[in-house]
Structure 1
């Protein structure tokens, strides 16, 4: 097991950090990548506290040259790649009338095309090792959520792409899984990078609905969010289980929430649920 190599994206905090440390504790050579290596202090401290060693490298999922350099570096230094965990992503808050199409494209660039850049570069090496391609998506990749149109669209796209790829990759020995967290107590929400009061003030006719959505969502994160370590346990399940499922939720809440959609043939259950979120 100690010879197996996993590359993980988006490890500066949250699920990615916990998964990188957890993989190392499980005996993997854990290559922890992040866009800005100056933000690796928390990652290094977590590794030191756990008594494990990480191989920390720069990787910007939106830059194909950066992706290629990181993958090539791993192969040159370690000789193999047995698993990839696509975790890097960015949150987004907005609705169609109040944002530009360019805003939406940027969300897709990070959360969808970033996954494709890394996966495409890694697949030849995963084929060689009979490895695993794991992508952290979201319950928002199954259930569309108000004021998260662009984010959910990107996560829906990832889920559809990986679900379609899975049987093709399996024929060549690569196992594909997606991991769906619900609310996780990480820096992800703060990393959206918006002033919520200003967003409501600028929302025009959408202000009341946006405020209702924010009240509900903030309450959920305060009362029911998982810890990153708890969510990362499901990522490690996908990495280490003999036969991991294609779709893995990280909590009972996430299983119930996504189950609403997966058994909702006419869409009424989902819309009945989310209509209540906006007042």
Structure 2
């Protein structure tokens, strides 16, 4: 493919685009004029992505990328550079939900959550950074309000998202010194397949929870209610904040996707001794 145009299209690579925010962000970026490389771990799951692109009348370059496989990451990034000659932005969106608590799971379970949600982000970001430096590009990571507020029975997931937020907040001034903008996008509840993807069998989980059964039941009931279509954002609404990070002249480091998410995270960011957050989350398990 030729890269000799005096005004080459801006190229963005987005991970985790088979559904939800990633799919919506890929379509939104393409609509906004970005040459969009939409990646996913299993290309056999790209039917919904292709259908959404066709409905929107946009073209996507769909490729395989498994964030926990460094060779897969390198091949995807190298392929983008070989074909287009540039990489202007990366959106780290791929991730996996998890429900559990320390006494009811193994440390290996926690490591697996960290591998996908934290180290996967680092794998992609490390491969992309030399190319983002070359274009003065943008590194955007979809985290969660769970990367700001720790949530019951989400210890491993929140730990991974906290780690991403801390890493990117620390990286941001370093990257900025070389012309790369770093942002994190913090969704709250989004009506996607995210809850289904954690394999939630409520009755079985509660039955196996022993002394945690009552607290787990209370937490699950509250959380499922938060993810109903009536209560949650749509993926397209959340993806609008990803597009903001892509297109704003000077994007903020931390971008919440809704007024609810802004209020929720504000409780933590203004809570110097931690008492307000713990008073709130304590009610979720009673």
What band does the TM-score fall into relative to the shorter chain? over 0.9
Q: How do residues 112-261 of structure 1 correspond to structure 2 at under 5 angstroms? A: 112-222=118-228, 223-261=230-268
- CA distance 1:192–1:2, change in 2 (3 Å): farther
Secondary structure at the aligned position of 1:67 is classed as helix
RMSD after superposition: 0.8
- 2:62 corresponds to which residue? 56
1:196: how far off? 1.9
CA distance in 1, matches of 2:50, 2:181: 30
The Cα offsets for residues 215-248 of structure 1, whole Å up to 9 and x where unpaired, read as: 1111122242000000000000000000000000
CA distance in 2, matches of 1:247, 1:268: 23
CA distance in 1, matches of 2:123, 2:266: 30
Contact persistence 1:82–1:125 (CA under 8 A): yes
CA distance in 2, matches of 1:218, 1:74: 39
CA distance in 2, matches of 1:218, 1:102: 26
- CA distance 1:120–1:201, change in 2 (3 Å): same
The Cα offsets for residues 39-90 of structure 1, whole Å up to 9 and x where unpaired, read as: 0000000000000000000000000000000000000001000000000000
1:195: how far off? 1.6
What TM-score results when the alignment is normalised by the length of structure 1? 0.99
Contact persistence 1:2–1:28 (CA under 8 A): no
CA distance in 2, matches of 1:278, 1:251: 25
CA distance in 2, matches of 1:109, 1:219: 29
- 1:262 corresponds to which residue? 269
1:97: how far off? 0.1
Contact persistence 1:185–1:225 (CA under 8 A): yes
Secondary structure at the aligned position of 2:151 is classed as coil
- 1:276 corresponds to which residue? 283
Match of 1:104 among 110, 134, 142: 110
Note the residue ranges of structure 2 that are not aligned, 5 or more in a row.
1-6
What TM-score results when the alignment is normalised by the length of structure 2? 0.97
- 1:12 corresponds to which residue? 18
Contact persistence 1:2–1:27 (CA under 8 A): no
1:2: how far off? 6.2
Secondary structure at the aligned position of 1:6 is classed as strand
Contact persistence 1:107–1:154 (CA under 8 A): yes
- CA distance 1:54–1:2, change in 2 (3 Å): farther
1:122: how far off? 0.1
